[in-house]
A and B are shown apart, each in its own frame.
Chain A
Protein backbone atom coordinates (compact mmCIF):
# COMPACT_ATOMS: atom_id res chain seq x y z
CA UNK A 1 0.00 0.00 0.00
CA UNK A 2 2.83 2.38 0.86
CA UNK A 3 4.34 1.72 -2.53
CA UNK A 4 1.08 2.50 -4.30
CA UNK A 5 0.65 5.70 -2.33
CA UNK A 6 4.15 6.80 -3.20
CA UNK A 7 3.46 6.15 -6.87
CA UNK A 8 0.24 8.04 -6.63
CA UNK A 9 2.18 11.05 -5.43
CA UNK A 10 4.46 10.94 -8.45
CA UNK A 11 1.89 12.40 -10.79
CA UNK A 12 0.33 15.60 -9.61
CA UNK A 13 -3.37 14.89 -9.10
CA UNK A 14 -4.09 18.56 -9.76
CA UNK A 15 -3.16 18.19 -13.43
CA UNK A 16 -6.50 18.29 -15.16
CA UNK A 17 -6.44 17.06 -18.71
CA UNK A 18 -10.00 16.83 -19.88
CA UNK A 19 -11.87 16.25 -23.08
CA UNK A 20 -14.50 18.85 -23.95
CA UNK A 21 -16.70 16.09 -25.39
CA UNK A 22 -19.27 14.03 -23.55
CA UNK A 23 -19.14 10.25 -23.84
CA UNK A 24 -22.07 10.33 -26.24
CA UNK A 25 -20.38 12.96 -28.39
CA UNK A 26 -17.18 10.91 -28.44
CA UNK A 27 -18.98 7.79 -29.57
CA UNK A 28 -20.87 9.71 -32.23
CA UNK A 29 -17.74 11.47 -33.53
CA UNK A 30 -15.75 8.26 -33.66
CA UNK A 31 -18.56 6.55 -35.56
CA UNK A 32 -18.67 9.47 -38.00
CA UNK A 33 -14.92 9.22 -38.57
CA UNK A 34 -15.15 5.48 -39.18
CA UNK A 35 -18.05 6.09 -41.53
CA UNK A 36 -15.84 8.39 -43.58
CA UNK A 37 -13.26 5.60 -43.75
CA UNK A 38 -15.95 3.20 -44.95
CA UNK A 39 -17.16 5.61 -47.63
CA UNK A 40 -13.62 6.12 -48.91
CA UNK A 41 -13.10 2.35 -49.02
CA UNK A 42 -16.38 1.92 -50.92
CA UNK A 43 -15.35 4.61 -53.40
CA UNK A 44 -18.25 6.85 -52.45
CA UNK A 45 -15.92 9.75 -51.67
CA UNK A 46 -12.25 10.40 -52.32
CA UNK A 47 -9.65 10.51 -49.60
CA UNK A 48 -9.31 14.26 -50.09
CA UNK A 49 -13.08 14.69 -49.69
CA UNK A 50 -12.89 12.62 -46.53
CA UNK A 51 -10.17 14.88 -45.17
CA UNK A 52 -12.22 17.96 -46.01
CA UNK A 53 -15.24 16.50 -44.22
CA UNK A 54 -13.19 15.76 -41.12
CA UNK A 55 -11.74 19.27 -41.15
CA UNK A 56 -15.23 20.74 -41.49
CA UNK A 57 -16.21 18.87 -38.31
CA UNK A 58 -13.50 20.66 -36.35
CA UNK A 59 -10.40 18.57 -36.92
CA UNK A 60 -7.21 19.74 -38.56
CA UNK A 61 -5.86 18.61 -41.89
CA UNK A 62 -2.98 16.95 -40.07
CA UNK A 63 -5.16 15.06 -37.60
CA UNK A 64 -7.56 13.98 -40.36
CA UNK A 65 -4.73 12.65 -42.55
CA UNK A 66 -3.23 10.88 -39.57
CA UNK A 67 -6.53 9.20 -38.72
CA UNK A 68 -7.01 8.02 -42.30
CA UNK A 69 -3.41 6.80 -42.52
CA UNK A 70 -3.92 4.56 -39.50
CA UNK A 71 -7.27 3.24 -40.64
CA UNK A 72 -7.18 3.02 -44.44
CA UNK A 73 -3.47 2.12 -44.67
CA UNK A 74 -2.90 0.27 -41.41
CA UNK A 75 -2.67 -3.13 -43.07
CA UNK A 76 0.21 -1.87 -45.20
CA UNK A 77 1.84 -0.28 -42.16
CA UNK A 78 1.51 -3.53 -40.21
CA UNK A 79 3.18 -5.42 -43.04
CA UNK A 80 5.97 -2.88 -43.20
CA UNK A 81 6.53 -3.29 -39.47
CA UNK A 82 6.50 -7.08 -39.70
CA UNK A 83 8.88 -7.17 -42.65
CA UNK A 84 11.33 -4.50 -41.65
CA UNK A 85 10.69 -3.33 -38.11
CA UNK A 86 9.87 0.17 -39.38
CA UNK A 87 7.16 1.86 -37.35
CA UNK A 88 5.21 4.70 -38.89
CA UNK A 89 3.22 6.85 -36.48
Chain B
Protein backbone atom coordinates (compact mmCIF):
# COMPACT_ATOMS: atom_id res chain seq x y z
CA UNK B 1 0.00 0.00 0.00
CA UNK B 2 2.88 2.34 0.78
CA UNK B 3 4.27 1.67 -2.69
CA UNK B 4 0.92 2.59 -4.23
CA UNK B 5 0.78 5.74 -2.15
CA UNK B 6 4.29 6.58 -3.24
CA UNK B 7 3.34 6.21 -6.91
CA UNK B 8 0.20 8.27 -6.33
CA UNK B 9 2.31 11.04 -4.82
CA UNK B 10 5.07 10.99 -7.44
CA UNK B 11 4.74 14.05 -9.71
CA UNK B 12 7.01 12.39 -12.27
CA UNK B 13 4.46 9.65 -12.90
CA UNK B 14 1.72 10.02 -15.47
CA UNK B 15 -1.66 11.17 -14.21
CA UNK B 16 -3.41 7.88 -15.11
CA UNK B 17 -0.74 5.94 -13.18
CA UNK B 18 -1.15 8.21 -10.17
CA UNK B 19 -4.93 7.98 -10.26
CA UNK B 20 -4.81 4.22 -10.57
CA UNK B 21 -2.35 3.92 -7.70
CA UNK B 22 -4.42 6.23 -5.52
CA UNK B 23 -7.54 4.18 -6.13
CA UNK B 24 -5.61 0.97 -5.46
CA UNK B 25 -4.36 2.32 -2.14
CA UNK B 26 -7.86 3.34 -1.19
CA UNK B 27 -9.23 -0.05 -2.11
CA UNK B 28 -6.73 -1.68 0.25
CA UNK B 29 -7.76 0.71 3.00
CA UNK B 30 -11.38 -0.09 2.34
CA UNK B 31 -10.64 -3.81 2.46
CA UNK B 32 -9.11 -3.25 5.87
CA UNK B 33 -12.18 -1.36 6.92
CA UNK B 34 -14.42 -4.12 5.62
CA UNK B 35 -12.51 -6.59 7.74
CA UNK B 36 -13.52 -4.48 10.70
CA UNK B 37 -17.16 -5.01 9.87
CA UNK B 38 -17.63 -1.96 7.68
CA UNK B 39 -19.54 -2.30 4.41
CA UNK B 40 -19.35 -0.31 1.21
CA UNK B 41 -21.46 -0.07 -1.89
CA UNK B 42 -19.82 -0.48 -5.33
CA UNK B 43 -20.37 3.25 -5.89
CA UNK B 44 -18.52 4.07 -2.70
CA UNK B 45 -15.68 1.75 -3.58
CA UNK B 46 -15.24 3.56 -6.88
CA UNK B 47 -15.63 7.03 -5.43
CA UNK B 48 -12.71 9.37 -5.17
CA UNK B 49 -13.45 10.21 -1.57
CA UNK B 50 -13.29 7.56 1.07
CA UNK B 51 -16.49 6.67 2.86
CA UNK B 52 -14.80 4.86 5.72
CA UNK B 53 -15.51 7.51 8.28
CA UNK B 54 -19.21 7.43 7.57
CA UNK B 55 -19.70 3.79 8.39
CA UNK B 56 -18.73 3.12 11.93
CA UNK B 57 -21.66 2.08 13.99
CA UNK B 58 -22.38 3.43 17.40
CA UNK B 59 -21.17 6.93 16.74
CA UNK B 60 -23.05 9.92 15.59
CA UNK B 61 -21.59 11.26 12.41
CA UNK B 62 -21.99 14.71 11.05
CA UNK B 63 -23.28 15.45 7.58
CA UNK B 64 -22.87 11.83 6.52
CA UNK B 65 -23.42 12.28 2.81
CA UNK B 66 -20.81 14.90 2.17
CA UNK B 67 -17.53 13.08 1.76
CA UNK B 68 -18.76 10.72 -0.93
CA UNK B 69 -18.63 13.48 -3.47
CA UNK B 70 -15.65 15.58 -2.56
CA UNK B 71 -14.74 16.82 -5.98
CA UNK B 72 -11.22 18.13 -6.04
CA UNK B 73 -10.36 21.45 -7.50
CA UNK B 74 -6.76 22.43 -7.27
CA UNK B 75 -6.13 26.13 -6.94
CA UNK B 76 -2.69 26.79 -8.32
CA UNK B 77 -1.05 29.60 -6.42
CA UNK B 78 2.44 29.17 -7.75
CA UNK B 79 3.63 32.29 -9.46
CA UNK B 80 0.41 34.14 -8.83
CA UNK B 81 1.06 37.81 -8.31
CA UNK B 82 -0.95 40.25 -6.33
CA UNK B 83 -3.43 40.48 -9.16
CA UNK B 84 -4.35 36.88 -8.39
CA UNK B 85 -4.94 35.76 -11.95
CA UNK B 86 -5.36 32.15 -10.94
CA UNK B 87 -7.93 32.76 -8.26
CA UNK B 88 -11.58 32.08 -8.94
CA UNK B 89 -13.88 34.98 -9.59
CA UNK B 90 -15.17 36.54 -6.37
CA UNK B 91 -18.24 35.09 -4.75
CA UNK B 92 -19.91 36.09 -1.53
CA UNK B 93 -21.21 32.78 -0.32
CA UNK B 94 -20.12 31.36 2.99
CA UNK B 95 -19.16 33.91 5.60
CA UNK B 96 -16.21 32.99 7.79
CA UNK B 97 -17.81 32.26 11.13
CA UNK B 98 -14.68 32.72 13.16
CA UNK B 99 -14.31 36.42 12.47
CA UNK B 100 -17.30 37.16 10.32
CA UNK B 101 -15.06 37.75 7.33
CA UNK B 102 -16.69 37.10 4.00
CA UNK B 103 -15.17 35.41 0.99
CA UNK B 104 -14.05 38.61 -0.72
CA UNK B 105 -12.19 39.91 2.29
CA UNK B 106 -10.50 36.59 2.90
CA UNK B 107 -9.55 36.35 -0.74
CA UNK B 108 -7.98 39.82 -0.63
CA UNK B 109 -6.00 38.85 2.43
CA UNK B 110 -4.82 35.70 0.72
CA UNK B 111 -3.72 37.65 -2.33
CA UNK B 112 -1.64 39.83 -0.03
CA UNK B 113 -0.13 36.74 1.56
CA UNK B 114 0.76 35.43 -1.88
CA UNK B 115 2.30 38.76 -2.85
CA UNK B 116 4.44 38.93 0.27
CA UNK B 117 5.42 35.28 0.39
CA UNK B 118 9.16 34.65 0.58
CA UNK B 119 10.75 32.96 -2.43
CA UNK B 120 9.98 29.27 -2.10
CA UNK B 121 11.10 26.34 -4.20
CA UNK B 122 7.92 24.46 -3.46
CA UNK B 123 5.32 26.33 -1.42
CA UNK B 124 3.21 23.84 0.44
CA UNK B 125 0.00 25.66 -0.48
CA UNK B 126 0.57 24.49 -4.05
CA UNK B 127 -0.26 21.03 -2.79
CA UNK B 128 -3.48 22.09 -1.10
CA UNK B 129 -6.53 21.42 -3.25
CA UNK B 130 -9.78 22.91 -2.07
CA UNK B 131 -12.75 20.59 -2.44
CA UNK B 132 -15.47 21.97 -4.69
CA UNK B 133 -17.80 22.39 -1.72
CA UNK B 134 -15.51 24.98 -0.13
CA UNK B 135 -13.71 26.42 -3.13
CA UNK B 136 -15.85 29.53 -3.25
CA UNK B 137 -16.55 29.93 0.44
CA UNK B 138 -14.95 31.99 3.16
CA UNK B 139 -14.12 28.75 4.95
CA UNK B 140 -12.16 27.55 1.95
CA UNK B 141 -10.27 30.82 1.88
CA UNK B 142 -9.60 30.51 5.61
CA UNK B 143 -8.01 27.11 5.07
CA UNK B 144 -6.08 28.52 2.14
CA UNK B 145 -4.85 31.32 4.39
CA UNK B 146 -3.51 28.76 6.84
CA UNK B 147 -1.67 27.02 4.00
CA UNK B 148 -0.23 30.36 2.89
CA UNK B 149 0.96 31.03 6.43
CA UNK B 150 2.79 27.71 6.24
CA UNK B 151 4.38 28.98 2.99
CA UNK B 152 5.57 32.05 4.85
CA UNK B 153 7.00 29.94 7.65
CA UNK B 154 8.86 27.29 5.67
CA UNK B 155 9.51 25.67 2.31
CA UNK B 156 8.31 22.23 1.29
CA UNK B 157 10.23 19.35 -0.15
CA UNK B 158 7.35 17.91 -2.09
CA UNK B 159 4.58 16.40 -0.03
CA UNK B 160 1.71 14.86 -2.01
CA UNK B 161 -1.36 16.89 -2.78
CA UNK B 162 -3.85 17.13 0.04
CA UNK B 163 -7.54 17.92 -0.33
CA UNK B 164 -9.08 20.41 2.09
CA UNK B 165 -12.78 20.28 2.77
CA UNK B 166 -15.36 21.18 5.38
CA UNK B 167 -16.15 17.55 6.02
CA UNK B 168 -15.57 16.24 9.52
CA UNK B 169 -17.13 12.84 9.99
CA UNK B 170 -17.56 12.72 13.73
CA UNK B 171 -19.90 15.28 15.19
CA UNK B 172 -17.79 16.28 18.18
CA UNK B 173 -14.55 16.53 16.22
CA UNK B 174 -13.12 19.77 14.88
CA UNK B 175 -10.83 18.31 12.25
CA UNK B 176 -9.66 15.12 10.63
CA UNK B 177 -6.88 13.80 8.45
CA UNK B 178 -7.36 10.75 6.32
CA UNK B 179 -5.89 9.46 3.11
CA UNK B 180 -4.40 12.79 2.01
CA UNK B 181 -7.57 14.64 2.94
CA UNK B 182 -7.95 17.36 5.53
CA UNK B 183 -11.32 18.25 6.97
CA UNK B 184 -11.90 21.30 9.13
CA UNK B 185 -15.25 22.01 10.73
CA UNK B 186 -16.49 25.39 9.42
CA UNK B 187 -18.04 26.17 12.82
CA UNK B 188 -14.76 25.55 14.58
CA UNK B 189 -13.51 28.26 16.90
CA UNK B 190 -9.94 27.74 15.65
CA UNK B 191 -10.09 26.94 11.93
CA UNK B 192 -6.61 28.23 11.10
CA UNK B 193 -4.96 26.31 13.91
CA UNK B 194 -6.93 23.19 13.09
CA UNK B 195 -6.01 23.33 9.42
CA UNK B 196 -2.34 23.69 10.35
CA UNK B 197 -2.72 20.85 12.84
CA UNK B 198 -4.11 18.58 10.12
CA UNK B 199 -1.43 19.76 7.70
CA UNK B 200 1.00 18.69 10.40
CA UNK B 201 -0.43 15.16 10.14
CA UNK B 202 0.13 15.29 6.38
CA UNK B 203 3.75 16.37 6.89
CA UNK B 204 4.28 13.77 9.62
CA UNK B 205 2.83 11.06 7.37
CA UNK B 206 4.82 11.88 4.27
CA UNK B 207 7.97 13.67 5.35
CA UNK B 208 8.86 12.81 8.93
CA UNK B 209 9.69 9.51 10.55
CA UNK B 210 8.71 8.35 14.03
CA UNK B 211 12.11 9.42 15.35
CA UNK B 212 11.45 13.03 14.39
CA UNK B 213 8.10 12.97 16.15
CA UNK B 214 9.72 11.50 19.24
CA UNK B 215 12.35 14.25 19.23
CA UNK B 216 9.65 16.91 19.22
CA UNK B 217 7.84 15.05 21.98
CA UNK B 218 11.08 14.96 23.94
CA UNK B 219 11.27 18.74 23.73
CA UNK B 220 7.63 18.99 24.78
CA UNK B 221 8.38 16.84 27.81
CA UNK B 222 10.62 19.61 29.02
CA UNK B 223 7.71 22.02 29.49
CA UNK B 224 5.52 22.63 32.49
CA UNK B 225 2.46 22.18 30.26
CA UNK B 226 3.60 18.57 29.88
CA UNK B 227 4.13 18.21 33.61
CA UNK B 228 0.56 19.32 34.09
CA UNK B 229 -0.68 16.62 31.71
CA UNK B 230 1.26 13.70 33.14
CA UNK B 231 0.55 14.73 36.70
CA UNK B 232 -3.09 13.76 36.12
CA UNK B 233 -2.18 10.14 35.41
CA UNK B 234 -4.40 8.33 32.91
CA UNK B 235 -7.05 9.83 30.67
CA UNK B 236 -5.13 12.39 28.68
CA UNK B 237 -3.16 10.08 26.37
CA UNK B 238 -4.47 11.77 23.22
CA UNK B 239 -2.58 14.91 24.16
CA UNK B 240 0.70 13.06 24.78
CA UNK B 241 0.68 11.02 21.56
CA UNK B 242 3.80 11.93 19.52
CA UNK B 243 1.76 12.60 16.34
CA UNK B 244 -0.56 14.94 18.18
CA UNK B 245 2.24 16.67 20.06
CA UNK B 246 4.02 17.34 16.76
CA UNK B 247 0.86 18.71 15.11
CA UNK B 248 0.07 21.02 18.00
CA UNK B 249 3.67 22.20 18.09
CA UNK B 250 3.85 22.66 14.31
CA UNK B 251 0.62 24.67 14.16
CA UNK B 252 1.73 26.93 17.00
CA UNK B 253 5.17 27.35 15.49
CA UNK B 254 3.72 28.49 12.13
CA UNK B 255 1.46 31.02 13.86
CA UNK B 256 4.19 32.36 16.12
CA UNK B 257 6.70 32.56 13.28
CA UNK B 258 4.30 34.42 10.99
CA UNK B 259 2.85 36.48 13.87
CA UNK B 260 -0.56 36.18 12.28
CA UNK B 261 -2.98 38.12 14.47
CA UNK B 262 -5.94 35.87 13.83
CA UNK B 263 -3.94 32.72 14.51
CA UNK B 264 -2.45 34.24 17.65
CA UNK B 265 -5.95 35.07 18.87
CA UNK B 266 -7.02 31.48 18.29
CA UNK B 267 -4.02 30.27 20.29
CA UNK B 268 -4.83 32.69 23.08
CA UNK B 269 -8.47 31.55 23.10
CA UNK B 270 -7.34 27.97 23.64
CA UNK B 271 -5.05 29.01 26.47
CA UNK B 272 -7.90 30.95 28.09
CA UNK B 273 -10.52 28.20 27.87
CA UNK B 274 -10.85 26.02 31.00
CA UNK B 275 -11.25 22.93 28.79
CA UNK B 276 -8.27 23.57 26.51
CA UNK B 277 -5.64 25.63 28.36
CA UNK B 278 -3.26 22.64 28.33
CA UNK B 279 -3.53 21.96 24.58
CA UNK B 280 -1.05 24.60 23.41
CA UNK B 281 1.85 26.30 25.14
CA UNK B 282 2.18 29.79 26.61
CA UNK B 283 5.01 31.55 24.76
CA UNK B 284 7.34 31.28 27.72
CA UNK B 285 6.89 27.50 27.68
CA UNK B 286 7.19 27.08 23.92
CA UNK B 287 10.80 28.08 23.22
CA UNK B 288 12.28 24.58 23.32
CA UNK B 289 9.36 23.04 21.43
CA UNK B 290 9.61 25.69 18.71
CA UNK B 291 13.33 25.01 18.39
CA UNK B 292 12.64 21.30 18.03
CA UNK B 293 10.23 22.00 15.14
CA UNK B 294 12.85 24.19 13.45
CA UNK B 295 15.52 21.52 13.82
CA UNK B 296 13.28 18.95 12.11
CA UNK B 297 12.31 21.33 9.31
CA UNK B 298 15.98 22.22 8.78
CA UNK B 299 16.83 18.54 8.60
CA UNK B 300 14.25 18.22 5.83
CA UNK B 301 15.78 21.20 4.02
CA UNK B 302 12.54 23.13 4.43
CA UNK B 303 14.11 25.86 6.51
CA UNK B 304 17.43 27.65 6.20
Contact = CB atoms under 8 A, between A and B. Distances in A.
Contacts of A11: 253, 256-257, 286-287, 290
Interface string B202-225: 000000000000000000000010
Given A4-B291, A17-B268, A87 B232 contact: no
Contacts of A37: 235
Given A30-B228, A37-B235, A84-B32, A17 B275 contact: no
Contacts of A7: 291, 294-295
Contacts of B29: 84-85
B95 interface: no
A54 B275 CA distance: 8
Q: How large is the interface on A (under 10, 10 to 19, 20 to 34, 35 or more residues)?
A: 35 or more
Contact of A26 (B201, B228, B243): B228
Interface in B214-262: 224, 228, 231-232, 235-239, 243-244, 247, 253, 256-257, 259
Given A30-B232, A77-B238, A85 B294 contact: no
Nearest to A81: B243
B278 A63 contact: no
A88 B271 contact: no
A63 B269 CA distance: 11
Contacts of B257: 10-11
Interface in B24-42: 29, 32-33, 36
A58 B176 contact: no
Nearest to A74: B238
A57 B273 CA distance: 10
Given A84-B32, A89-B198, A59 B273 contact: yes
A74 B200 CA distance: 20
Q: How large is the interface on B (under 10, 10 to 19, 20 to 34, 35 or more residues)?
A: 35 or more
A88 B277 CA distance: 20
A73 to B, nearest CB: 8
B189 A69 contact: no
A87 B177 contact: yes
Nearest to B198: A89
Interface of B: 29, 32-33, 36, 52-53, 56, 59, 169-179, 187-189, 194, 197-198, 201, 224, 228, 231-232, 235-239, 243-244, 247, 253, 256-257, 259, 264, 267-268, 271-278, 280-284, 286-287, 290-291, 294-295
15 contacts: A8-B287, A11-B286, A15-B259, A16-B283, A17-B281, A30-B228, A33-B274, A34-B235, A63-B273, A65-B172, A69-B172, A86-B52, A88-B169, A88-B170, A88-B176
